[in-house]
Amino acid sequence: MTRSRVIRETAFRWQGVEPHAYKDVAAHHRGVTRHTLLGGEGRDPALDIETRYFEVEPGGFTTLERHAHPHAVVVLRGRGEVVLDSVVESLTPFDVIYVAPWTTHQLRAATDGVLGFLCVVPRERDRPQPVADGAE
């Protein structure tokens, strides 16, 4: 059993949480780091979710992908846009995004600053399926 705790934040870095590469293969994304805050890597076994913080460098983007599990996303800093199937929406701090299962999606940072967002997903989930640009 993991004990209850507070994880302190300073300048979008959390105590004891190391940033990691977004994904092992960088062919379909650019300038993204992942910080697993809760529920990852065998920690917090009572949680059925993972809470992660992602940072996307100016002009960077996540993989254009889809999968069976949903996402809940909260933008914390910066500006950018999200692709949800064929719709592109602008993003600013505190916007909330629901990504339904099998929705093709991607987050992109504006060119003038970092886009930072929380992303909550089920702990047990399927692997993302990359989507070629323009294919659905």
Owning domain of residue 58: 18-130
Classify residue 124: in a domain, yes or no.
yes
Residue-wise pLDDT for 69-123, tens only, equals 999 999 999 999 999 999 999 999 999 999 999 999 999 999 999 999 999 999 9
Q: What is the pLDDT of residue 41?
A: 78
Classify residue 4: in a domain, yes or no.
no
Strands of 1-136 (E only): list them.
Answer: 9-10, 13-14, 20-21, 30-38, 49-61, 65-66, 71-77, 80-84, 87-91, 96-99, 105-109, 115-122, 129-130
Active site annotation includes 119: yes
Classify residue 1: in a domain, yes or no.
no
pTM: 0.90
Classify residue 52: in a domain, yes or no.
yes
Given 114, 115, 119, 131, the catalytic residue: 119
Domains contained in the chain, number: 1
Q: What is the pLDDT of residue 6?
A: 94
Classify residue 9: in a domain, yes or no.
no
Classify residue 3: in a domain, yes or no.
no
